[in-house]
């Protein structure tokens, strides 16, 4: 079976078994809330790969684990504090700090946050990895989205990405996205660098 097909099936299995957190902060309640997402990367002239993300929140406490987010065969574990507020303009921000281990070893402070006004949302997450092997390996990672929801079950917009998870000629990648919700499940497709050998990212997720 071709690698893209294997990766898509892996994304589908993990996405249906859990939820989307890269774009959305889990609801805050008295008990625990959990989320998991799987992002399948289909990179031209390179191996496709899978990025699973699992989170757990309880009140202000935020816990998170990622795999292959920073680099191939590299994991990261995070702890953070949730803050939120606003009425017409709602905001959420979670300062986080994590340990990165595997092909890259380091310490990473970061953040996750969102601004929402009516059907518009600006989401961003970022981290600076201080590579234990030396400053030349340190890097600022970022993923941001600006979306509009013409209906409750759909999101359309733009996304940007700065990463070293795979090779790219562009320091800041830009693209289009479309996301669809089905109850607690979410499916999103991103097309990065659509004007030149686009990278396609498929996200399948669920909250519980």
Query: Token pair 């589908």 is at which residue?
Result: 12
**Fold entry, domain 3-207:** Porin (2.40.160)
Q: Is the dihedral of CA 27, 80, 142, 38 positive or negative?
A: negative
What's the pLDDT tens digit per position in 87-114? 999 999 999 999 999 999 999 999 999 9
Q: Find residue 39's DSSP bridge partners.
A: 51, 203
Global pTM? 0.84
- Say which residue the tokens 């030149």 belong to: 196
Question: What's the CA gap between 187 and 38, in Å, rounded?
Answer: 10
**Which segments within 68-166 are labelled E, that is strand?**
74-81, 83-85, 89-102, 106-117, 120-131, 139-151, 154-162
Beta-bridge partner residues of 96: 80, 110
What confidence category does residue 72 fall into, taking pLDDT thresholds of 50, 70 and 90? Answer: very high
Distance from first CA to last CA of the chain, Å, rounded?
32
Distance separating alpha carbons of residues 62 and 184, to the nearest angstrom? 20
Q: What is the DSSP string of 38-94?
A: EEEEE-TTS--EEEEEEEEEETTEEEEEEESSSSTTEEEEEEEE-EEE-SSEEEEEE
**Measured CA angle at 21 (ends 20, 23), to 5 deg:** 95
Span 63-81, average pLDDT: 98
Cβ-defined contacts of 180-189 (< 8 Å, 24+): 180/153, 180/154, 180/155, 181/152, 181/153, 181/154, 182/153, 184/19, 184/208, 185/15, 185/16, 185/19, 186/19, 186/20, 186/24, 187/15, 188/20, 188/23, 188/155
Residue 29 confidence (pLDDT): 52
Q: What is the pLDDT of residues 109-158, one digit of tens each?
A: 999 999 999 999 999 999 999 999 999 999 999 999 999 999 999 999 99
């Amino acid at each position: 079976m071709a690698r893209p097909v294997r990766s898509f099936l892996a994304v589908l299995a993990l996405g249906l078994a859990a939820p989307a957190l890269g774009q959305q902060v889990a609801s805050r309640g008295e008990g625990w809330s959990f989320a998991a997402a799987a992002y399948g990367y289909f990179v031209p002239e390179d191996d496709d790969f899978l990025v699973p993300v699992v989170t757990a929140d309880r009140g202000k406490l935020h816990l998170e684990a990622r795999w292959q987010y920073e680099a191939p065969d590299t994991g990261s574990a995070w702890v953070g504090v949730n803050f939120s507020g606003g009425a017409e303009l709602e905001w959420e921000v979670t300062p986080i700090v994590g340990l990165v281990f595997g092909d890259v070893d380091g310490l990473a402070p970061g953040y996750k946050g969102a601004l929402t006004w009516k059907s518009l949302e600006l989401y961003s997450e970022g981290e600076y990895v201080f590579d234990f092997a030396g400053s030349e390996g340190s890097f600022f990672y970022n993923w941001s989205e600006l979306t509009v929801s013409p209906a409750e079950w759909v999101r359309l917009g733009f996304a940007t990405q700065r990463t070293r998870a795979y090779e790219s000629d562009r320091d800041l990648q830009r693209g289009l996205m479309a996301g669809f919700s089905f109850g607690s499940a979410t499916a999103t497709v991103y097309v990065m660098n659509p004007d030149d050998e686009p990278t396609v990212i498929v996200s399948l997720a669920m909250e519980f």
